Structures are given as C-alpha cells and as structure tokens.
Amino acid sequence: MGQRIVLIDDEARLLRALKRALESDGLEVAEFLDPRQALAAVRASPPALVVSDIRMEGMSGLDLVATLRQERPEVPCILMTAYSSVETAVAAVRLGAKDYLLKPFELAEFTGAVRRALAQPAATGDEAAGDPRLVGRSPRMRAVLDLIGAVAGTDSTVLIQGESGTGKELVARLLHRRSARADRPFLPVNCSAIPETLFESELFGHQKGSFTGAVGDKPGLYQEAEGGTLFLDEIGDLAPASQAKLLRVLQDGTFKRVGDPRSTTSDVRILAATNRVLREEVEAGRFREDLWYRINVVEITLPPLRERAEDLGELVGYLLERFSRKHRRGPFTVDPALLAHLAGHAWPGNVRELENVLERAVILKRSGALHPEDVPLARGKPATVPELPPGLLPLDQTMDQIEEELIRRALATTGWNYSRAAELLGVTRQNLHYKLKKYHLRKENHG
C-alpha cells in the first residue's frame, strides 16, 4: 500500500465511500468515527495526511487541527463540512488546514484535494508556526531590538511591558533563543488563567495525597523548565497570595512542592510580561513592590502600533510574505491606497490585529493585487491620510516610495505644518523630522 491517510467522519456511510475512493488510488486508510480515537492514533504513528469532518461529537475538526498544529505540525490536514461560511474557511486555513471541502462534493474533487496535499512538501515546525520575528526600523523598535541583543545572553530577569497584541511573548521567545539556554525548555504560563488555589501546585508541583484530588506526584512548571526559561505572561493579574509565593522562589532560587517538606534548588530564568503599568499597580497597592523590584531588573517596553506608523509598510511586506509562505498563496502586489487605508486605522489590537486582517486577506484572495476592500477593518478611527494616486506597484520595491509619497501629501495638505502633518500621519514630530531627513524633503524644494 501507499501513504497512510487518517480519515475521520461521524457519518459511517460517507466514511466507507471515501475510504474506498482513497484505497482505489493506492493509499492506505485508517478510518475513525470518533475524532478522539483518531487523535490518539495520529499521536502514536503520524500519517502522511489527516482528512476530517468539522462538526463531530466530542471534538470538532477545528479543535483537532489546532491540536495537531501544536503537537504534529508536520502532518497536513484537510477539513470537510456541510456548513460553510467565510469565517469557518478562514479559521480552518489559519489553523493550518491545507484545503477545505464543502459537502456534498464529487469523489474526484475529494481525491484531487488529497493528491495535492500529499504532493506538497511537509512543513517544518517553524514553517507551521509561521516563523514570526520582530519587525521594525523606527527609533523605538531599534531601541527594543538593541536592548534584546544586550540582555539575551545574560540570565537577567526581564519585565516586558506593552499593550495586548504588541508582541510580548515574541520578545520573550527571542530572548530565550538568543541565550545559552536555547536548547532547554521555554515554557509560557498565562498567570491570569491559573486559579489562586492551584497556583502553588501548578508552579511548584505536588506530592501524592497532599490534598484532595492529588492522586499522584506531579512536577510543577519550575521543574519542567529546569535549565531553561519560564515565561510568566500577564504577571500583573496574579492574586496577592500568589505574588508572595512567587517572590519566595525568586529571592533564593528554591521552592517546595506542595506536601513535600524538602526544598528543591531551581535553575530557571524568569521572563515576565504584562499589559498593565506595574508601577501604577504598585502605587495602588495591587502589586507587591518587592516582587516588582525582583522582576524589573531589565524592563523592555513595546510601543503600540499606532505610535510607530513608520514601521507599517515594512510590517505589511513581512506579514504578506510570511502568510503567503505559510498558506502557499501569492504572489501579491499592494495597491498604494491600501497602505493609506491601513495607516488611518487606530489599531487597538496592535500587531496581532494587523496579522489577523492580512492573514484573512491572503487566505481569501489567494494571489494578485490587494486593495482596501480586501482588508476590511473594524470600526474605529477613520482614515485621515490623503488619498494616493491609483496604481499597483510590487510590494518589495515600493514601501519607501509609498511612505515618502504619504509624507509629501500630508505636508502639502497641511501647508508644511509639521505638527499637523505628524498628527495626520499618526507619528511624532521627532519621527516626522527623521523621515524628512531620510527622504531629503525640504520645503524650499516643493514650492
């Protein structure tokens, strides 16, 4: 037999028909009515391809794909459904599905989709995850990158601050990858998701019988991250009692499992992040001052996207390239009006919001020119940047030209009033003057 396919659908008759079609193509098929049994089989022996229905009892196809993307990113998936919507299609492809079939379909359409998926090279773990990196050449982002370079190779505790969606976990992963601990575990922990009553057990582990429900010994996150990095996300959401327990291990590098009188020494680097302003939380009495001093040895503050509009062009180019590679779409060109459309948005969700709208556009458009109508934005701040002349230009050759043209138009519209032009472009006067020098723009040269 040929390559092995795992086929999942809770309709037994359809499952048998699809299995026969694949076997007639020389493929080996393992069929499952229960998605949870299928997941166990994939974990035990990864197949060449998983084909699954979306709506099933016990576990949806979307949940299955999301789980496989984390555990087995090299295994491609195709999803099938009788309940189609744009949102479902986008979710399926965004999660990593190679294709999306709407029932009822012809068997030839089904087998063709399977052959195409099998013919594509397997994605590596980095490709499946999109291989994200920190992008930006604005003064504030250059300062962030310089600081990352300076502290990555140390064991210093780092506090990463910034609004939601600015890339705090990405910074933490960069710090880990560039450290001597890169070959050891990196464990992200969402502090806000751990109940106060379970915090000590989750962080330090527990012994069998130490409390009701402790049916066996359990290692804590500190033990699992030994020699590596523990990333405490949303540390500002910790309850006071949890803050005290964390402070003790940060002070002397030792901890006790729940129910164990012995102390254990820990070799773990701590990185922490929050979207709160911890100094204000300390002043308000909601966060311990001594814990703040422990985690705030080095502070990295990520600016919101609206305060680094000069990075928008580079971000758009990078994200389109990244999502094109991830979803095997493209090539794309960008209507200059699209950049103006994006520049006029307030981006309350920051880079994460930009990622979402561009990934959706890549999935639905597949290739060609991207226009403002291809990237709908949530209601918010209206576009204020002057409209650019029509025309399509290759993305990798035109970001500087587009940026320069936007600045020219803003200056012309405001009569070269730097403050008003900076406000129109969504940048500071300092950044505007930097761009004027970069593009050699002077008022006397423009009437």
Between 78 and 70, the higher pLDDT residue: 78
Q: What pLDDT does 390 receive?
A: 46
Between 408 and 401, the higher pLDDT residue: 408
Over 90: is that where the pLDDT of 14 sits? yes
**CATH of range 4-129; options 3.40.50.700, 3.40.50.2300, 3.40.50.300, 3.30.930.10:** 3.40.50.2300
pTM for the full predicted model? 0.60
> If pLDDT is split at 50, 70 and 90, which confidence band does 209 have?
low
Distance CA 36, CA 51 (A): 14
Neighbours of 399 (CB within 10 A): 18
Distance CA 396, CA 334 (A): 10
User: Which helix (H) or strand (E) covers residue 235, if one does?
Assistant: none
Instruction: Read off the amino acid at residue 432.
Output: L
> If pLDDT is split at 50, 70 and 90, which confidence band does 63 have?
confident
For residues 287 and 243, the answer to whether their CB atoms sit within 8 Å is: yes
Mean pLDDT, rounded, for 111-132? 66
Over 60: is that where the pLDDT of 389 sits? no
DSSP one-letter string for 67-123? HHHHH-TTS-EEEEESS--HHHHHHHHHHTEEEEEESS--HHHHHHHHHHHHHSPPP
Mean pLDDT, rounded, for 209-234? 83
> If pLDDT is split at 50, 70 and 90, which confidence band does 355 have?
very high
Q: What pLDDT does 223 receive?
A: 86
CA nearest to 358, candidates 51, 43, 162, 130: 130
> What tens digit of pLDDT does each residue of 16-32 get?
999 999 999 999 999 99
Between 94 and 424, the higher pLDDT residue: 424
Domain ranges of the chain: 4-129, 139-303, 306-446
Q: What pLDDT does 382 receive?
A: 40
3-class secondary structure, 155: coil
Task: Report strand pairing: 205-206 vs 218-219.
Answer: antiparallel
Over 70: is that where the pLDDT of 125 sits? no
3-class secondary structure, 402: helix
CA nearest to 319, candidates 282, 290, 297, 352: 352
Distance CA 416, CA 422 (A): 10
**117 vs 73, 96, 111, CA distance in Å?**
14, 12, 10
User: How far, rounded to the nearest angstrom, does the alpha carbon of residue 292 sit from its chain's CA centroid?
Assistant: 27
3-class secondary structure, 6: strand
> What tens digit of pLDDT does each residue of 235-293 get?
999 999 999 999 989 998 888 888 777 888 889 999 999 999 999 999 999 999 999 99
Between 100 and 151, the higher pLDDT residue: 151
Contacts of 31 (CB under 8 A, 6+ apart): 7, 8, 9, 15, 16, 18, 19
Lowest mean pLDDT among 167-176, 191-200, 301-310: 191-200
Average pLDDT over the chain reads 84
CATH architecture observed for domain 306-446: Orthogonal Bundle (1.10)
For residues 363 and 89, the answer to whether their CB atoms sit within 8 Å is: yes
Q: End-to-end alpha-carbon separation of the chain, Å? A: 76
Lowest mean pLDDT among 54-63, 120-129, 270-279, 322-331: 120-129
Between 122 and 368, the higher pLDDT residue: 368
Between 31 and 317, the higher pLDDT residue: 31
> If pLDDT is split at 50, 70 and 90, which confidence band does 121 have?
low
Mean pLDDT, rounded, for 47-62? 90
**CATH of range 139-303; options 3.30.1490.20, 3.40.50.300, 3.30.230.70, 3.90.1150.10:** 3.40.50.300
User: On the CB side of 3, how many CA atoms lie within 13 Å of its CA?
Assistant: 16
Distance CA 85, CA 81 (A): 10
Q: Percent of the chain having pLDDT more than 90?
A: 39
Q: What pLDDT does 215 receive?
A: 65
> If pLDDT is split at 50, 70 and 90, which confidence band does 161 have?
very high
Over 70: is that where the pLDDT of 387 sits? no
Helices 86-95 and 61-71, axial angle in degrees (round to 10): 20
Are both 4-129 and 139-303 of the same fold? yes
The first and second tokens of residue 163, run together, are: 């609004």
Over 80: is that where the pLDDT of 212 sits? no
* Phi-psi domain of 213 (left: phi exceeds 0; alpha: psi -120 through 50; beta: other): left
